[in-house]
């Protein structure tokens, strides 16, 4: 991946990460953003291969995301789910009619032997997305959680049990054997790489699976380009989802500094919200304080610009 002014690599989970990825894609020259997505949330459901974070990024970058849920497609219809329910099928994981097409086509092409990367690349071209979008690996990695209710697969914990169980341990099954996506690895060593952005995603279940892949943490440490992270914690709370609850259950202080310490060995620059200024003393990384809540497109673009400036200043 080349461009006159180099390119930016973003590591992302789903909903929070996709907000900043969209901002970056809108302020960078076309074709100069590469987004690497967590696939630890992927699972097989109703015989279909579901990749929630990749799809959230595809729909968000493609401008067809659902602004109410953050996942799934805009203007969705639910005929399939209704018909499935009438037949007594499983309905705890909601698949809209348009979204269903993504899973059916992905599953067909995976069974025909295509890699997840190749399918994702084709999908993003068809959605006219100029940024590259890669799964962190083409090999299966499955996030599982040890909770007070025993071991749970990720979507059983997240969607079926609505993150209610208390988390004791998180594992990424397969991460030790999974090969990081080759273009991702090459990007980390590319002289044209301007910076790595860790999006404001859940560090424990969205970013850690990417960092758990063989060689990724070392490559980030060795990488000449600066690593800039944005805090997913604002005013000591998560904007959405279980990040704060999980941090507390795993014994981490629930504040923005705690996330920076989690990335301590790879982080050059940390971006925190104005509301968290008091809680981030003593960090090794340079710090920028700004508004980090992304409520609209202008917020996403403004934060993206701050991130890019921070990366230049390291
Ligand atoms: P998931 O995979 O769908 O759970 O999404 P991510 O892991 O990518 O993002 C979840 C995180 O995004 C949560 O910790 C939220 O606090 C964070 N988040 C969501 N919206 C915003 C926002 O506007 N600003 C910041 N700074 N964080 C956000
Ligand atoms: N999240 C939910 O909370 N409930 C759902 O019914 C649900 C369905 C769903 C369907 C497709 C898809 O790509 C994502 C979906 N999500 C749903 C999001 C969830 O799977 C994500 O893993 C989490 O948001 C964490 O990334």
Q: Which two tokens stand for residue 301?
A: 């673009």
Residue of minimum CA distance from atom 18 in ligand 2: 71
Residue of minimum CA distance from atom 18 in ligand 1: 16
pLDDT of residue 284: 81
Asked if residues 106 and 51 have their Cβ atoms less than 8 Å apart, the reply is yes
pTM (2 decimals)? 0.97
Strand-pair category, 227-230 with 233-234: unpaired
Atom of ligand 1 nearest to the CA of 71: 3
pLDDT of residue 277: 82
Per-residue pLDDT tens digits of the chain, which is 314 residues long? 444 579 999 999 999 999 999 999 999 999 999 999 999 999 999 999 999 999 999 999 999 999 999 999 999 999 999 999 999 999 999 999 999 999 999 999 999 999 999 999 999 999 999 999 999 999 999 999 999 999 999 999 999 999 999 999 999 999 999 999 999 999 999 999 999 999 999 999 999 999 999 999 999 999 999 999 999 999 999 999 999 999 999 999 999 999 999 999 999 999 999 999 876 777 888 999 999 999 999 999 999 999 999 998 65
CA distances 171 to 29, 105, 142, 250, Å, are 37, 29, 8, 13
Residue of minimum CA distance from atom 20 in ligand 2: 52
String of b and e for 201-235 (b: at least 16 CB within 10 Å)? bbbbbbbbbbbbbeebeebbeebebbbbbbbbbbe
Asked if residues 135 and 54 have their Cβ atoms less than 8 Å apart, the reply is yes
- In the chain, domain spans: 3-312
Question: Ligand 2 centroid vs 222 CA: distance in angstroms?
Answer: 34
Instruction: Write out pLDDT tens, residues 56-99.
Output: 999 999 999 999 999 999 999 999 999 999 999 999 999 999 99
Q: For the domain 3-312, what is the CATH superfamily, name and number? A: CofD-like domains (3.40.50.10680)
Burial of 112: CB neighbours in 10 Å, binned 0-12, 13-18, 19+: exposed
């Amino acid at each position: 991946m080349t461009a006159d002014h180099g390119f930016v690599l973003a590591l992302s989970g789903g909903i929070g990460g996709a907000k900043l990825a969209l901002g970056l894609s809108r302020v960078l020259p076309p074709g100069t953003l590469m987004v690497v997505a967590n696939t630890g949330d992927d699972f097989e459901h109703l015989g279909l291969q579901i990749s929630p974070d990749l799809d959230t990024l595809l729909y968000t970058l493609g401008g067809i995301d659902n602004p109410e849920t953050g996942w799934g497609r805009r203007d969705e219809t639910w005929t399939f789910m209704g018909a499935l329910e009438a037949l007594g099928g499983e309905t705890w994981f909601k698949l809209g009619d348009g979204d269903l097409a993504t899973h059916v086509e992905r599953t067909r092409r995976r069974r025909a032997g295509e890699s997840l990367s190749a399918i994702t690349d084709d999908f993003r071209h068809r959605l006219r997305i100029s940024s590259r979008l890669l799964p962190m690996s083409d090999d299966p990695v499955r996030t599982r959680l040890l909770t007070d209710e025993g071991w749970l697969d990720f979507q059983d914990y997240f969607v079926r049990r609505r993150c209610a169980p208390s988390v004791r341990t998180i594992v990424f099954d397969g991460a030790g054997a999974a090969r990081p996506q080759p273009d991702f690895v090459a990007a980390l060593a590319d002289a044209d790489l301007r910076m790595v952005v860790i999006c404001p995603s859940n560090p424990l279940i969205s970013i850690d699976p990417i960092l758990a892949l063989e060689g990724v943490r070392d490559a980030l440490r060795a990488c000449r380009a600066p690593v800039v992270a944005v805090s997913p914690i604002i005013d000591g709370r998560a904007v959405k989802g279980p990040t704060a609850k999980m941090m507390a259950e795993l014994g981490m202080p629930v504040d923005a500094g705690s996330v920076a310490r989690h990335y301590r060995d790879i982080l050059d620059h940390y971006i925190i919200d104005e509301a968290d200024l008091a809680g981030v003393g003593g960090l090794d990384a340079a710090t920028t304080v700004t508004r980090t809540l992304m409520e609209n497109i202008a917020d996403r673009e403004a934060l993206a610009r701050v991130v890019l400036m921070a990366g230049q200043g390291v």
